[in-house]
């Protein structure tokens, strides 16, 4: 049926369009429910129209069946009354109604099938909407949790970056300490070398005079012995 196909296409297009541009899942859920509610309104209207057509077809068929039954009864009564010509007319009318009945039966069968299909689609749509409504808060909760986790992941990346920076500073500090230690060691080596040369210079370049030796030499030149005062 054209109506059924049309509304199936409408609902399918709505869902597919939302999925194609689902940048914000939370907004998509709300928009999906709004679209389904709009579709439900259209389906309700069409379902009511199809069900009304089913009722009209059923009424027409019942009326035709009743007329056929009446024509048969009138034909029987006419024959009982001895009026064969009247009975023939009633039977001719019955034959015409019987032909009409076939068309009415087909129309009713189609209307009944359409009504059942529309009612089934209506009920499924109502059920889908109810399920989505009941799951909406759960889905939004998951989305909120996912966004929170994403923020935590971003913060973790920032912390890791800070840790990497700290590690780099530690390496720079260790390198600076190594440079300082090397410089101090070089300075100490330079100082030790200077002191050693100075000591050697004092050892071999000293010009100090031995006073006692010179005093003894002076006494000997004067003919004095140690402890003897010189004559005046």
pLDDT (average), residues 106-127: 90
| Domain annotation covers residue 154 | yes
Give yes or no for a contact between 12 and 39, defined as CB atoms under 8 angstroms apart: no
Q: Is the domain of 116 the same as that of 7?
A: yes
| Domain annotation covers residue 227 | no
Q: Is the domain of 89 the same as that of 40?
A: yes
The token duo for 99 is 């032909």
| Domain annotation covers residue 224 | no
CA 76 to chain CA centroid, nearest Å: 79
Q: Is the domain of 84 the same as that of 171?
A: no
pLDDT of 209 higher than 70 = no
Q: Which helix (H) or strand (E) holds 156?
A: helix 84-205
CB atoms within 10 A of CB 131: 10
Q: Which domain holds residue 29?
A: 2-139
| Domain annotation covers residue 190 | no
Q: Give residue 131's pLDDT.
A: 81
Q: Is the domain of 58 the same as that of 121?
A: yes
pLDDT of 79 higher than 90 = yes
Q: How far apart are CA 163 and CA 11, in angstroms?
A: 52
Rg (CA), the chain: 60
Q: How far apart are CA 196 and CA 109, in angstroms?
A: 125
Q: Give residue 146's pLDDT.
A: 76
Q: How far apart are CA 222 and CA 214, in angstroms?
A: 13
| Domain annotation covers residue 21 | yes
For 137-159, the pLDDT digits (tens) are 777 777 777 778 888 877 766 66
pLDDT of 202 higher than 80 = no
The pTM score is 0.49
Q: Is the domain of 32 the same as that of 133?
A: yes
For 170-182, the pLDDT digits (tens) are 777 787 788 877 7
């Amino acid at each position: 049926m054209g109506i059924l196909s049309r509304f199936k296409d409408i609902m399918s297009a709505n869902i597919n369009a939302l999925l194609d541009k689902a940048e914000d899942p939370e907004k998509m859920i709300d928009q999906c429910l709004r679209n389904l509610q709009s579709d439900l309104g259209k389906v309700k209207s069409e379902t009511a129209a199809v069900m009304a057509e089913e009722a009209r077809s059923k009424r027409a068929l019942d009326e035709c069946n009743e007329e056929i039954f009446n024509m048969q009864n009138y034909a029987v009564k006419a024959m009982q009354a001895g009026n064969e010509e009247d009975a023939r007319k009633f039977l001719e009318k019955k034959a015409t109604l019987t032909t009409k009945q076939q068309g009415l039966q087909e129309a009713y069968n189609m209307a009944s099938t359409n009504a059942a299909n529309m009612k089934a689609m209506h009920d499924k749509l109502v059920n889908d909407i109810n399920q989505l409504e009941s799951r909406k808060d759960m889905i939004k909760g998951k989305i909120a949790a996912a966004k929170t986790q994403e923020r935590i992941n971003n913060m973790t990346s920032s912390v890791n970056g800070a840790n990497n920076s700290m590690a780099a500073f530690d390496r720079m500090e260790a390198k600076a300490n190594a440079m300082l230690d090397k410089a101090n060691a070089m300075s100490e080596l330079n100082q030790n070398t200077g002191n050693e040369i100075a000591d050697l210079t004092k050892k071999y370049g000293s010009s100090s005079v031995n006073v006692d030796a010179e005093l003894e030499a002076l006494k000997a030149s004067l003919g004095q012995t140690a402890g003897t005062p010189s004559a005046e």
